[in-house]
Amino acid sequence: MSERLVVIGGDATGMSAASQARRLKGQEELEIVAFERGRFTSYSACGIPYWVGGDVDGPDGLIARSPEEHRKRGIDLRTGTEVTEIDTEGRRVRARSVDSGEEYWTSYDHLVIATGARPIRPQLPGIDAPGVHGVQTLGDGETLLASLRATAGLRAVVVGAGYIGVEMAEALIRKGYDVTMVNRAGQPMSTLDPDMGHLVGDAMTGMGITMVNDAAVTELLTGDDGRVRAVRTEAAEYPADVVVLGIGVRPETSLAGAAGLPLGPAGGLLTDLAMRVRGHEEIYAGGDCVEVLDIMSGSTRHIALGTHANKHGQIIGTNVGGGYATFPGVVGTAVSKVCDLEIGRTGLREKDAEAAGLQYVTVTIESTSRAGYYPGAATMTVKMLAERRTGRLLGTQIVGREGAGKRVDVAAVALTAGMTVERMTTLDLGYAPPFSPVWDPVLVAARKAVRAVAADHT
Amino acid sequence: MSERLVVIGGDATGMSAASQARRLKGQEELEIVAFERGRFTSYSACGIPYWVGGDVDGPDGLIARSPEEHRKRGIDLRTGTEVTEIDTEGRRVRARSVDSGEEYWTSYDHLVIATGARPIRPQLPGIDAPGVHGVQTLGDGETLLASLRATAGLRAVVVGAGYIGVEMAEALIRKGYDVTMVNRAGQPMSTLDPDMGHLVGDAMTGMGITMVNDAAVTELLTGDDGRVRAVRTEAAEYPADVVVLGIGVRPETSLAGAAGLPLGPAGGLLTDLAMRVRGHEEIYAGGDCVEVLDIMSGSTRHIALGTHANKHGQIIGTNVGGGYATFPGVVGTAVSKVCDLEIGRTGLREKDAEAAGLQYVTVTIESTSRAGYYPGAATMTVKMLAERRTGRLLGTQIVGREGAGKRVDVAAVALTAGMTVERMTTLDLGYAPPFSPVWDPVLVAARKAVRAVAADHT
């Protein structure tokens, strides 16, 4: 007799899980039903800023696999269908057609919760006015593009200065907008230490972006037509023809929470290493709705990134399909760019290390992406945290131009392996003048970190 | 009473060692005498192809630290002075002024042998004719540039298709030459497996380079003026206004060999992990004249690369200066480019694995440097070797365009850490559409390698 897998959410995790399970088990063994509230599946939300900026054709260009393609592969995909309740006792979910309102129960043997994240929308006056946009779904992208077409004005305010904020700033600059970023913190990119965030802020100011730091939005002002016309903070008012919210996201776990499933401190589902919801062998969860183990701190964190979502889906599908795979956790790697500025980070910031009870030394160096004499060699700044006494690498942050962002991958693998900065100094990294100075910038930082660890010892 | 350090060779290893030792010990504690046969010190021979190609100003632009700068830092640097004998019993070296022929003995407490490598020049008729050039020293670069200016012809033949050969091919194309590469093997880049080398060959053909494989040069033909006019192989003759030899290099260890110091199978000095010549606590050696431990195979290899030479110098200087540092070995990472083609390799090729007694599976995948929908996403091919049964990564080769070369660093660190391909599939690498697909190409290869290891098991 065949089993049934039910998937809630038709994006990266859900459909990767469904596809991988289908690869391992045929239709006679496993029935797969997937519910998706919207009309798109398996799309790259991370591509929305580039679609808005005009670099990428959307929404079709951002869709890895359409509903029809999934159906052809033997997945009973039900778009426009929302799951409204999970009955863990009865092993069934209640689904509702968004259009018709029709409701029905579907039972499962295995359940995958892949409900993603929702953008944070602070309850401010004017937040729902036309011209104020989040950028989470392909629908959001369509709405924002329509809104940009609907106004002749070219003043954009981006609220929030995390990676979505900076990517949207680039998109709007490319479209010819004057961009103002309003940001609560003292500098953009709170995923970096403040000193490195300041470098990003300085570079963005150099690109002509007006950076407003230490500023909380209190109200969105609207014009006579009801459309947003300005962003107000306690100190000032910034005219805006369009406002983009890039304040961050929270795990979408209202359904899971209502079903009594375990949530962590950031509101995400808690799973074991096989991505099974803790205490529920038949329920899996992954992607933007879960918290992941941060290998460096030993705590769980919420990180909404497509690369994790895809890995989770793959692992869940393998396990549902009768194989075996686990997700050992993250070290916290992220890369982003704003125009020609590249930002990479992995591991712990100073405050993360402190929160984890780790003592550390930090060093910062400047180097170049290529041999200093080679054309296009661009300066980059590398900050490194190493543990006191042991010299174990704890984190690395890089801000620079071309070649800066992905260099952080070397540190990410070194973190995963638990390497000391001493061992890192002799890493056999690729060298040729067009690719790197004879000492790769990451190795230069490691050398300085070795000296800092030694000096701290004495 | 002060000790004396004598350094033979004023390039990367020798002068890094001298500088680091000087940093740790002042002149009252340590006298440093460095002998250099030529007139340049601390230069980037790796930059010569870019100087010849016109991308870089030379020779000054390639000199990291001049003789005067070294002298200012308290190093008794004697350029134009050749060491002709090492007396290990008497702990002294005999030096000779290249200009005056004057000879004298200098005693040492610590000796650093950093005599580098010499290009292979097969004893062929015509090999010494004007217009036939090696590219090992800055002097070679000057001579080649003068030679290019001396002829109006634009037909260049590059003999050898390793990384120096392909870099010189790019340089000559940039200067407007018709380039023919004559190569003994069936494809260029013998540091790659043949299947990956063929990709490079196809790409180079696409750039308009005439690739002549499976061809050994038998003679260099000269014209009435004595200058080279053609390269002859057994099968054909290739007209040449200039010939560049890129056949490879051998360790320059005639001095060390005559002194009875231990040489390995590739002719390089053998050292311990502190870079001391085996059996001689007071003699260090590093850079292009030594063999290094290949961590993956457990054997020693000769690898002439500036990045290793600099690391060796740093380690030797630390040890001479009373500190402690070791060189744990290499995994065999190298990157090169020819025009817009990037080539990265690390770890073992198939034949290296076989020679080491390792059994393996191989996989090859195609992916892109950025998200497939992002502008500039370029195809790359990744080949991966994993050990049978254990699934341990053994090697990775990448051929592609922008973003392909340095991606091999991730595999280099994974090799160093002894990671399995299974563990690699969940590596937390930087992801954003301008930097990588949601599955980085290295991870795509690792996933396929996991399946190949599993299939091999059964």
Q: Name which of A114, A37, A116, A115 is nearest A320 in CA terms.
A: A114
| AA identity, residue B282 | E
Q: What residues contact B150, with CB distance under 8 A and at least 6 apart?
A: none
Rounded Cα gap, residues A387 and A450, in angstroms? 10
Asked if the structure places residue B414 within a domain, the reply is yes
Q: Which residues pair with A285 in a beta bridge?
A: A113
Residues of chain A with Cβ-Cβ distance to B44 below 8 Å are 371, 373, 433, 438
Chain B, nearest residue to A164 by Cα: B432
Regarding whether B293 and B407 lie in a shared domain, the answer is no
| Average pLDDT over chain A, rounded to an integer | 96
Please say which residue of A320, A347, A363 terminates a domain: A320
Question: Is A333 within 8 Å of B429 when comparing Cβ atoms?
Answer: yes
Place of tokens 């003292």: A186
List the single best residue of B63, B297, B428, B458 to mutate versus A (max A Cβ within 10 A): B428
Chain A, nearest residue to B336 by Cα: A432
Question: Is A429 within 8 Å of B409 when comparing Cβ atoms?
Answer: yes
Asked if the structure places residue A327 within a domain, the reply is no
Number of separate domains in chain B: 3
Asked if the structure places residue A132 within a domain, the reply is yes
Q: Mean of the pLDDT values across residues B351-370?
A: 98
Regarding whether B411 and B384 lie in a shared domain, the answer is yes
**B163-174 and B194-206 helices, crossing angle to 10°:** 10
pLDDT tens profile A259-294: 999 999 999 999 999 999 999 999 999 999 999 999
Question: Is B163 within 8 Å of A432 when comparing Cβ atoms?
Answer: yes
Question: Is A47 within 8 Å of B373 when comparing Cβ atoms?
Answer: yes
How sure is the predictor about B457, in pLDDT bands with cuts at 50, 70 and 90?
A: confident
Among B163, B433, B439, beta carbon nearest to A47: B433
Asked if the structure places residue B326 within a domain, the reply is no
Q: Mean of the pLDDT values across residues B397-420?
A: 97
Do the strands B334-338 and B155-159 form a parallel or antiparallel pair, or are they unpaired? unpaired
Regarding whether B181 and B286 lie in a shared domain, the answer is no
Alpha-carbon distance values, B96 to B35, B82, B435 (Å): 10, 5, 54
Please say which residue of A320, A344, A370 terminates a domain: A320
Q: Mean of the pLDDT values across residues A21-33?
A: 97
Rounded Cα gap, residues A1 and A28, in angstroms? 8
Asked if the structure places residue A328 within a domain, the reply is no
Residues of chain B with Cβ-Cβ distance to A335 below 8 Å are 430-432, 435-436
Alpha-carbon distance values, A203 to A173, A188, A209 (Å): 14, 11, 9
**Are the C-beta atoms of residues B433 and B338 closer than 8 Å to each other?**
no
Q: What residues contact B38, with CB distance under 8 A and at least 6 apart?
A: B10, B79, B80, B137, B138, B139
Question: Is B428 within 8 Å of A332 when comparing Cβ atoms?
Answer: yes
Question: Is B344 within 8 Å of A429 when comparing Cβ atoms?
Answer: no
Q: Which two three-digit tokens encode residue A359? A: 């003592």
The share of chain A scoring above pLDDT 70, in percent, equals 100
**B12-24 and B306-320 helices, crossing angle to 10°:** 30
Among B62, B335, B410, beta carbon nearest to A431: B335
Regarding whether A357 and A309 lie in a shared domain, the answer is no
List the single best residue of B409, B451, B453 to mutate versus A (max A Cβ within 10 A): B409
Count of C-beta atoms within a 10 Å radius of residue A254: 11
Rounded Cα gap, residues A68 and B338, in angstroms? 43
Q: Name which of A242, A243, A222, A218 is nearest A232 in CA terms.
A: A218
Chain A, nearest residue to B343 by Cα: A430
Among A328, A406, A439, beta carbon nearest to B430: A406
Q: What residues contact A69, with CB distance under 8 A and at least 6 apart?
A: none
Regarding whether A339 and A419 lie in a shared domain, the answer is yes
Please say which residue of A205, A221, A247 terminates a domain: A247
Rounded Cα gap, residues A414 and A399, in angstroms? 19
Q: Which two three-digit tokens encode residue B349? A: 């090729």
DSSP H or E segment with residue B222 = strand B217-222
| AA identity, residue A90 | G
Q: Which residues pair with A360 in a beta bridge?
A: A387
Rounded Cα gap, residues B344 and B397, in angstroms? 6
pLDDT tens profile B194-248: 999 999 999 999 999 999 999 999 999 999 999 999 999 999 999 999 999 999 9
List the single best residue of B271, B339, B413 to mutate versus A (max A Cβ within 10 A): B413
Among B12, B409, B419, beta carbon nearest to A417: B419
pLDDT value, residue A318: 98
Q: Is the ipTM of this complex over 0.85?
A: yes
Q: What residues contact B254, with CB distance under 8 A and at least 6 apart?
A: none
Regarding whether A349 and A421 lie in a shared domain, the answer is yes
pLDDT tens profile A239-251: 999 999 999 999 9
Among B163, B333, B432, beta carbon nearest to A429: B333
The catalytic site residues of A sit at: 46
| AA identity, residue A165 | G
For residue A85, how far is the Cα from the chain centroid? 27
Place of tokens 């051929």: B399
pLDDT value, residue B458: 67
Rounded Cα gap, residues B390 and B457, in angstroms? 10
The string of DSSP letters for A30-87 reads EEEEEEESSS--SB-GGGHHHHHTTSS--SGGGBSS-HHHHHHTT-EEEETEEEEEEE
pLDDT value, residue B136: 87
The string of DSSP letters for B321-379 reads TT-------B---EEEEETTEEEEEEE--HHHHHHTT--EEEEEEEEESS-TTSTT--E
List the single best residue of A15, A42, A369, A406 to mutate versus B (max B Cβ within 10 A): A406
Regarding whether A260 and A206 lie in a shared domain, the answer is no
Question: Is B334 within 8 Å of A432 when comparing Cβ atoms?
Answer: yes
Q: Which domain holds residue A240?
A: 121-247
Chain A, nearest residue to B311 by Cα: A426
Regarding whether A352 and A283 lie in a shared domain, the answer is no
Asked if the structure places residue B210 within a domain, the reply is yes
Question: Is A431 within 8 Å of B46 when comparing Cβ atoms?
Answer: yes
Regarding whether B171 and B79 lie in a shared domain, the answer is no
Q: Which two three-digit tokens encode residue B350? A: 């198939």
Upper half-sphere CA count for residue A172 (Cβ side, 13 Å)? 33
pLDDT value, residue A389: 96
How sure is the predictor about B180, in pLDDT bands with cuts at 50, 70 and 90?
A: very high
Residues of chain B with Cβ-Cβ distance to A373 below 8 Å are 44, 47, 50, 56-57, 61-62
**Are the C-beta atoms of residues A189 and A166 closer than 8 Å to each other?**
yes
Asked if the structure places residue B328 within a domain, the reply is no
Among A311, A327, A373, beta carbon nearest to B62: A373
Regarding whether B241 and B134 lie in a shared domain, the answer is yes
Regarding whether A343 and A434 lie in a shared domain, the answer is yes
Rounded Cα gap, residues B343 and B338, in angstroms? 8
Q: Mean of the pLDDT values across residues A97-122?
A: 96
Question: Is A430 within 8 Å of B375 when comparing Cβ atoms?
Answer: no
How sure is the predictor about A69, in pLDDT bands with cuts at 50, 70 and 90?
A: very high
How sure is the predictor about A175, in pLDDT bands with cuts at 50, 70 and 90?
A: very high
| Average pLDDT over chain B, rounded to an integer | 96
Strands (E), B141-216: 155-159, 178-182, 210-212
Do the strands B228-233 and B217-222 form a parallel or antiparallel pair, or are they unpaired? antiparallel
Q: Which residues pair with A277 in a beta bridge?
A: A271
The string of DSSP letters for B35-89 reads EESSS--SB-GGGHHHHHTTSS--SGGGBSS-HHHHHHTT-EEEETEEEEEEETT
CATH of the domain at B216: 3.50.50.60
Rounded Cα gap, residues A444 and B354, in angstroms? 35
Regarding whether B112 and B47 lie in a shared domain, the answer is yes
Rounded Cα gap, residues B358 and A247, in angstroms? 52
Residues of chain B with Cβ-Cβ distance to A431 below 8 Å are 46, 305-307, 333-335
The string of DSSP letters for A241-271 reads SEEEE-S-EEE--HHHHHTT--B-TTSPBPB
For residue A176, how far is the Cα from the chain centroid? 26
Rounded Cα gap, residues A63 and A79, in angstroms? 15
The catalytic site residues of B sit at: 46
Question: Is B47 within 8 Å of A374 when comparing Cβ atoms?
Answer: yes
Q: Which two three-digit tokens encode residue B354? A: 């076989």
**Are the C-beta atoms of residues B169 and B181 closer than 8 Å to each other?**
yes
Question: Is A408 within 8 Å of B428 when comparing Cβ atoms?
Answer: no
Q: Name which of A170, A164, A155, A196 is nearest A183 in CA terms.
A: A164
For residue A63, how far is the Cα from the chain centroid? 18
Kindly report the nearest CA distance between residue B254 and chain A, in angstroms: 27
User: Across the A/B interface, how many CB contacts are shorter than 8 Å?
Assistant: 212
Among B55, B412, B425, beta carbon nearest to A375: B55
Rounded Cα gap, residues A426 and A422, in angstroms? 8
Characterize A410-447 residue by residue with b for buried, 16 or more Cβ atoms within 10 angstroms of its Cβ, and e for exposed.
bbbbbbbbebbbbbbbbbbbbbbbbbbbbbbbbbbbbb
The share of chain B scoring above pLDDT 70, in percent, equals 100
Secondary structure letter of residue B268 according to DSSP:
P
pLDDT tens profile B24-81: 999 999 999 999 999 999 988 899 999 999 999 989 999 999 999 999 999 999 999 9
pLDDT value, residue A58: 86
Asked if the structure places residue A325 within a domain, the reply is no
Chain A, nearest residue to B309 by Cα: A438
Q: Is the pLDDT of residue A458 over 90?
A: no
Percent helix / strand / coil, chain A, rounded to 5: 30, 30, 40
Q: Is the pLDDT of residue A385 over 70?
A: yes
Q: Which two three-digit tokens encode residue B179? A: 């380039």
| AA identity, residue A457 | H
Q: Which residues pair with B7 in a beta bridge?
A: B34, B112
Question: Is B346 within 8 Å of A413 when comparing Cβ atoms?
Answer: no
**Are the C-beta atoms of residues B114 and B313 closer than 8 Å to each other?**
yes
Characterize A220-249 residue by residue with b for buried, 16 or more Cβ atoms within 10 angstroms of its Cβ, and e for exposed.
bbbeeeebbbbbbbeeeebebbbbbbbbbb
Rounded Cα gap, residues B299 and A446, in angstroms? 27
Residues of chain A with Cβ-Cβ distance to B368 below 8 Å are none
Question: Is B336 within 8 Å of A403 when comparing Cβ atoms?
Answer: no
Kindly report the nearest CA distance between residue B75 and chain A, in angstroms: 23
Phi, then psi, of A97 in degrees rounded to 5: -70, 125
For residue B302, how far is the Cα from the chain centroid? 9
